[in-house]
């Protein structure tokens, strides 16, 4: 047939294959790569197992670590022996109890407290300890002087940054000021203070009036 296609010449019974519509089966179920955050948040707690060598002051060693690392320390527990212990024991008749110095070897039963790097509000840092003496007696109080390790002392602690100091209860005027600042300040300022990526911030209240941030109050180095 002129100007046309002779379908009989193409072969009778030849099947024409058609591609199925849509995407191939299973194309929508491909596993997505995991989201990995390579930058740690400044407010992340870090667990530490600290070993203090014999002859070293436990409190001074913790204070040096906090100052050099610029991280606060929350002491959870401790194990080991100490000597030459200076404690302030509680007194029901006064706010400050008597200070006593104990000589000899004592086993640590409990050690808790916090150590913050400077500048820190007074009265926030401190360690409380309970000890067992050689005769089985138990003594305790606030550490007010040297706490010398007579053997290896292992301390389990958590470190943190950007601790805030709040005075409670908050009065109405101060609460209103905090709310106003929280609504007016942009999230990017919180990212600058805390070191958190802006896309990870949601409903975050930044430090404001009545809140002391020791990390933000570090003295600037002179250029």
All structural domains of the chain with their residue ranges: 46-160
Closest by CA position to 51, among listed 159, 153, 129, 148:
153
pTM of the full structure: 0.59
Beta-carbon contacts of 157 under 8 Å, excluding residues fewer than 6 positions away, are 47, 48, 50, 62, 73, 74, 75, 76
pLDDT per position as a tens digit, 149-208: 999 999 999 998 887 777 788 777 666 666 655 555 544 444 444 444 554 444 444 444
CA dihedral 158, 70, 166, 110 (to 10 degrees): 30
Q: Residue 122 CA to chain centroid, in angstroms?
A: 21
Long-range interactions of 91-97: CB distance < 8 A, separation 24+: 97/141
- Do 88 and 98 form a contact (C-beta atoms < 8 A)? yes
Q: pLDDT band at residue 30, thresholds of 50, 70 and 90?
A: low
Tokens 């790569």 -> residue: 33
- pLDDT digit string, tens, across residues 52-61: 999 999 999 9
Least confident interval from 103-107, 138-142, 171-175, 187-191: 187-191
Q: Contact, 127 vs 115, CB < 8 A?
A: yes
Token pair for residue 186?
A: 């942009």
The CA distance from 128 to 114, in Å, is 9
- Which residues have C-beta within 8 Å of that of residue 184, sequence separation ≥ 6? none
Q: What's the CA gap between 20 and 133, in Å, rounded?
A: 84
Indicate the pLDDT class of residue 64, thresholds 50, 70 and 90: very high
142 confidence band (pLDDT: 50, 70, 90): very high
Task: Examine the pLDDT at 209 and tell me if it is beyond 70.
Answer: no
State the Cα–Cα distance between residues 155 and 12, nearest whole angstrom: 89
The whole-chain average pLDDT of the chain stands at 74
Q: Of 3.40.1350.10, 2.40.50.100, 3.30.1330.80, 3.30.56.10, which CATH number belongs to 46-160?
A: 3.30.1330.80
Query: What percentage of residues in the chain have a pLDDT greater than 90?
Result: 32
d(CA 95, CA 98): 10
DSSP codes joined into one string, 144-188: EEEEEESS-EEEEEEEES--EEE-SSPPHHHHHHHHHHHHHS-HH
């Amino acid at each position: 047939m002129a100007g046309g296609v002779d379908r009989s010449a193409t072969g009778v019974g030849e099947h024409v294959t058609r591609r199925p519509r849509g995407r191939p089966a299973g194309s929508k179920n491909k596993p997505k790569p995991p989201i990995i955050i390579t930058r740690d948040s400044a407010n992340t707690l870090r667990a530490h197992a600290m070993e203090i060598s014999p002859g070293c002051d436990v409190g001074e060693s913790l204070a040096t670590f906090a100052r050099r690392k610029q991280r606060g320390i929350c002491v959870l527990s401790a194990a080991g022996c100490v000597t030459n212990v200076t404690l302030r024991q509680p007194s029901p008749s006064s706010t400050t109890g008597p200070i006593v110095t104990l000589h000899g070897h004592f086993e640590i039963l409990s050690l808790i407290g916090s150590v913050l790097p400077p500048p820190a509000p007074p009265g926030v840092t401190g360690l409380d300890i309970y000890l067992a003496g050689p005769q089985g007696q138990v003594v305790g109080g606030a550490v007010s002087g040297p706490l010398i390790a007579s053997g290896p002392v292992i301390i389990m602690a958590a470190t943190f940054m950007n601790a805030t100091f709040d005075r409670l209860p908050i009065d109405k005027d101060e609460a209103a000021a905090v709310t106003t600042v929280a609504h007016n300040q942009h999230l990017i300022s919180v990212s600058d203070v805390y070191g958190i990526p802006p896309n990870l911030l949601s409903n975050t209240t930044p430090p404001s009036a009545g809140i002391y941030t020791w990390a933000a109050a570090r003295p600037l180095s002179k250029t």
